[in-house]
Amino acid sequence: MFELSPEEWTAIRLSLWIAVTATLASLPLGIFVAYVLARWRFPGKVLIDGIVHLPLVLPPVVTGYILLILFGRHGPLGAPLAEYLGIVFSFRWTGAALACAVMGFPLMVRPIRLSLETIDRRLEDAAGTLGANGLWTFALITLPLALPGLLVGSILCFAKALGEFGATITFVSNIPGETQTISAAIYTYTQVPNGDASAWRLTIVAIVIALFALIMSELVQRGVNKRLATFA
Amino acid sequence: MISVDVALKLGAFDLEVAFENDAGIIALFGRSGSGKSVTINLIAGLVRPDRGRIVLDGRVLLDTKAGIFVPKYRRRVGLVFQDAQLFPHFSVRRNLLFGHWFAPQQEPGIAFDAVVATLGIGHLLDRHPTLLSGGERQRVAIGRALLSSPKILLMDEPLAALDSERKLEILPLIESLRDEFRIPIVYVSHAVEEVARLAARVVVLENGRVTAVGSVEDVLGQNLAFTGESRFAQSSVITGRLSRVDTDYGLTEIAHPAGTIWLVGEAGPVGREARVIIHATDITLSPTKPPPNLSIRTILSGTVAGITFDHGPLASVAISLDGHGQLVALVTRKAIDELGLHRDDQVYALVKTVALDERMVAAKQA
């Protein structure tokens, strides 16, 4: 029978929660970085672009290890964050979300950037001459017109976050109920005797979630395309 | 009152433009690449000049010496783009209200209903901009700019993307903006008809420099090259009085001291002053009074004020009409030689009535 154990449920809930958190938390920074890359001209832009895309090409374990060094309890960023803001990453679900956000970030930035680059700048000029300052123009014109990119970027980041394994397990280990996502749980079950049934069930859940996300993104895309078609 | 004096170097392009205008419409006229649009963008604050000063109604918008640069959103300048640039994610109504919302609330602005009525866009309000035709889009764009209660309207080739029928729809609307809302307009165009019909004054731009400034009557027809395609753009503007509408034949009669001008169609109320645009290629010249057995109805008498030859087969003849006004005719060099035309000779200008219709006549500014 297909009945999920409490441990399996925990892994599923945690996976979804971590992926949603990672996506939503990285969205503002993603928009900002995409805007900078799309619009600003400055020396060293190539370097920024490279750093943003680095997690895409680095082995995930390397990314996880760098996060461990930087955001660990005694790391140069982890220590002050824990002391002054009370945010602890190491061996917590927050760390898993951070790892997922970093891994998903390049996938989020690219579509937003492309969306921003296709916006006719004269629409912003028009808004300006009509009295809207830079912030209003961004809020009323730029951001709404970049909506397709925002949606696609968010979906891609969410999908990446759901499947993330290497960086997460390196950074925050594999603690059931805290950092053990579906991927980590499946890995664990394959390492223990009689874990096959659990691994199977989680695999099916993973397929269902992935399929659901794909269909959702397809529907969203279609809706966006319909609106875009009327834009043209 | 606007006064503009700006200089800008953009790569190989070098712009230096200065002009002033009180009320009514001033046209920036010139071929593409002459710097018309850049000048408009400088006034709107979309481009920063190297040097310059722009004053609008006593308010300094730009003064590079004093370090003043008023940002575009505080200039109160309504810009109408060639391709409308309506916000695609807003309805027509929200497009119209966009600038209205940012306009200072304490001032009595331009009323929404009046603009919608004048532009005839009431039935479009709930539509999406993408479902509008080119002409409708441009009308909404004009309305949107107007409703931001600007001190001046800048129109950058607003009719260039439209077919000639749509142009005919919108031209009178622009005239009514000028007269009803009393808003000064800087109108950029490379089309003589539009300039002659709308503007009181013209600034001719060539390669980033002002080559002529003055009234439409004085400037047009003089500084244009007359070889190649552009010869079809060369025209003159004659001011006369609309004296009679012949409903039997469907013709309009315009009285001028040099002769009667006939045009096709029934153009507006009798008694008003009218400006008629006559293309230089539509004029035939005769040194003697033409015989009555020609189909030509419009015969204007005058004297040759000057003949200009280009390096090709054509010559441009300027004719001082009896009474007032100047007419420019394009003929071949061969014809000039064979007729033996010279400066100060008496000459008759023959214009085919079918070449003139009611769209060539503009109501003189009230």
* CATH code of the domain covering residue A45: 1.10.3720.10
Decide if A205 is inside a domain: no
How do residues A186-200 score in pLDDT, each as one tens digit?
Answer: 999 999 988 889 999
**Higher confidence at residue B250 or residue B365?**
B250
Residue where one domain finishes, among candidates B166, B185, B220: B220
| Domain match, B120 and B245 both | no
- Residue B151, chain A, CB below 8 Å: the answer is no
**Residue B173: partners with Cβ closer than 8 Å, 6 or more residues away:** B118, B119, B120, B139, B142
* B250 three-state secondary structure: coil
The predicted pLDDT at position A24 comes to: 95
Domain containing residue A43? 9-181
Residue B366's pLDDT band, with cuts at 50, 70 and 90, is very low
Q: In Å, how far is B82's CA from the nearest CA of chain A?
A: 11
DSSP symbols for B341-360: --TT-EEEEEE-GGG-BGGG
Decide if B225 is inside a domain: no
Answer whether B340's CB lies under 8 Å from B333's CB: no
Residue A31 has pLDDT above 60, yes or no: yes
B275: left (phi over 0), alpha (psi -120 to 50) or beta: beta
Q: How far is CA A110 from CA A24, A53, A65, in A?
A: 16, 9, 25
Decide if A187 is inside a domain: no
DSSP H or E stretch at residue B175: helix B164-180
The predicted pLDDT at position B222 comes to: 59
Q: Which residues of B fall within a CB distance of 8 Å from A227?
A: 89
Q: CA geometry: angle at B245 spanning B243 and B251, to 5°?
A: 115
**Higher confidence at residue B359 or residue A152?**
A152
Q: Spell out a b/e string for A74-86, using b for 16 or more CB atoms within 10 Å of the CB, else e.
A: ebeebeeebeeee
Residue B365's pLDDT band, with cuts at 50, 70 and 90, is very low
Asked if B81's CB is within 8 angstroms of A230's CB, the reply is no
The predicted pLDDT at position B265 comes to: 80
Decide if B32 is inside a domain: yes
Q: Which amino acid is at A174?
A: N
What CATH number is given to the structural domain containing B295?
A: 2.40.50.100
Asked if A126's CB is within 8 angstroms of B85's CB, the reply is yes
- Residue B46, chain A, CB below 8 Å: the answer is yes
What average pLDDT does the segment B214-243 reach?
69
The predicted pLDDT at position A228 comes to: 57
The predicted pLDDT at position B362 comes to: 63
The predicted pLDDT at position B231 comes to: 60
Of B77, B99, B130, the CB nearest to A230: B130
Q: Which residues of A fall within a CB distance of 8 Å from B40?
A: none
Residue A232's pLDDT band, with cuts at 50, 70 and 90, is very low
Q: Which residues of B fall within a CB distance of 8 Å from A131?
A: 73-74, 76, 99, 101-103, 148
Q: How many domains does chain B have?
A: 2
| Domain match, B158 and B30 both | yes
Q: How many domains does chain A have?
A: 1
Asked if A129's CB is within 8 angstroms of B72's CB, the reply is yes
Residue B295 is classified by DSSP as: S
| Domain match, B263 and B137 both | no
What average pLDDT does the segment A29-48 reach?
93
Rounded Cα–Cα distance for residues B191 and B78 (Å): 21
Q: Which of B194, B173, B202, B150 is nearest to B44 (CA)?
A: B150
Q: In Å, how far is A136's CA from the nearest CA of chain B?
A: 10
| Domain match, B126 and B236 both | no
| Domain match, B122 and B201 both | yes
User: Which of A119, A123, A129, A137 has the highest number of chain B CBs within 10 A, making it the mutation to test binding with B?
Assistant: A129
| Domain match, B176 and B216 both | yes
What average pLDDT does the segment A63-71 reach?
94
Q: Which residues of B fall within a CB distance of 8 Å from A232?
A: 130
DSSP symbols for A53-78: HHHHHS-HHHHHHHHHHHHSTTSTTH
The predicted pLDDT at position B196 comes to: 80
What CATH number is given to the structural domain containing B21?
A: 3.40.50.300
| Domain match, B183 and B86 both | yes
Least confident segment among A32-46, A159-173, A206-220, B339-353: A206-220
- Residue A120, chain B, CB below 8 Å: the answer is yes
- Residue B142, chain A, CB below 8 Å: the answer is no
Decide if A195 is inside a domain: no
Q: Determine what percent of chain B falls in helix, strand and coil, rounding each to the nearest 5.
A: 30, 35, 35
- Both structure tokens of B308: 């200009």
How do residues A1-15 score in pLDDT, each as one tens digit?
Answer: 578 888 889 999 999
Decide if A49 is inside a domain: yes
Which of 165-184 (A) contact B at CB < 8 A?
A: none
Q: Which amino acid is at B317?
A: V
Decide if B210 is inside a domain: yes
Residue A215 has pLDDT above 90, yes or no: no
Residue B357 has pLDDT above 70, yes or no: no
- Residue A74, chain B, CB below 8 Å: the answer is no
Asked if B144's CB is within 8 angstroms of A125's CB, the reply is no
Residue B227 has pLDDT above 50, yes or no: no
Answer whether A107's CB lies under 8 Å from A163's CB: no
The predicted pLDDT at position B299 comes to: 92
Asked if B85's CB is within 8 angstroms of A130's CB, the reply is no
Decide if A229 is inside a domain: no
User: Which of B38, B43, B72, B147 has the highest number of chain A CBs within 10 A, making it the mutation to test binding with A?
Assistant: B72
Residue where one domain finishes, among candidates B185, B220, B255: B220
| Domain match, B261 and B326 both | yes
Residue showing tokens 């027509």: B92
Least CA distance to A227: which residue of chain B? B89
How do residues B146-200 score in pLDDT, each as one tens digit?
Answer: 999 999 999 999 998 888 778 878 888 888 888 888 889 999 998 877 888 888 8
Q: Of A27-31, B275-279, B291-295, which one has max mean pLDDT?
A: A27-31
- Residue B71, chain A, CB below 8 Å: the answer is yes
> What is the pLDDT of chain B when averaged over all its residues?
87
> What is the pLDDT of chain A when averaged over all its residues?
90
Decide if A224 is inside a domain: no
How do residues B75-95 score in pLDDT, each as one tens digit?
Answer: 999 999 999 999 999 999 999
Least CA distance to B41: which residue of chain A? A125
Residue B226 has pLDDT above 60, yes or no: no
Rounded Cα–Cα distance for residues B282 and B280 (Å): 5
What average pLDDT does the segment A165-191 reach?
91
Residue where one domain finishes, among candidates B158, B193, B220: B220
Dihedral of CA B297/B302/B305/B306: which sign? Answer: positive
Decide if B130 is inside a domain: yes
- Residue B7, chain A, CB below 8 Å: the answer is no
The predicted pLDDT at position B293 comes to: 87
Decide if A176 is inside a domain: yes
Asked if B144's CB is within 8 angstroms of A130's CB, the reply is yes
| Domain match, B90 and B168 both | yes
Least confident segment among A31-40, A139-148, B93-102, B173-182: B173-182
Which of 85-124 (B) contact A at CB < 8 A?
A: 85, 87-89, 98-99, 101-103
Asked if B44's CB is within 8 angstroms of A131's CB, the reply is no
Q: Which residues of A fall within a CB distance of 8 Å from B46?
A: 125, 128-129
Q: How far is CA A76 from CA A51, A70, A71, A73, A100, in A?
A: 19, 6, 7, 9, 20
Of B85, B131, B148, the CB nearest to A131: B148
Decide if A152 is inside a domain: yes
| Domain match, B243 and B342 both | yes
The predicted pLDDT at position B308 comes to: 83
How do residues B5-59 score in pLDDT, each as one tens digit?
Answer: 999 998 888 999 999 998 889 999 888 888 999 999 999 999 999 999 999 999 9
Domain containing residue B293? 230-363
Least CA distance to A229: which residue of chain B? B130
User: Which of A119, A121, A125, A130 has the highest number of chain B CBs within 10 A, making it the mutation to test binding with B?
Assistant: A130
Of A122, A144, A232, the CB nearest to B89: A144
Residue B4 has pLDDT above 90, yes or no: yes
How do residues B279-318 score in pLDDT, each as one tens digit?
Answer: 888 899 999 998 888 888 899 999 998 888 877 788 889 8
**Higher confidence at residue A131 or residue B31?**
A131
CB-based burial label for B229 (10 Å; 0-12, 13-18, 19+): exposed
How do residues A77-130 score in pLDDT, each as one tens digit?
Answer: 989 998 898 888 988 999 999 999 999 999 999 999 999 999 999 999 999 999
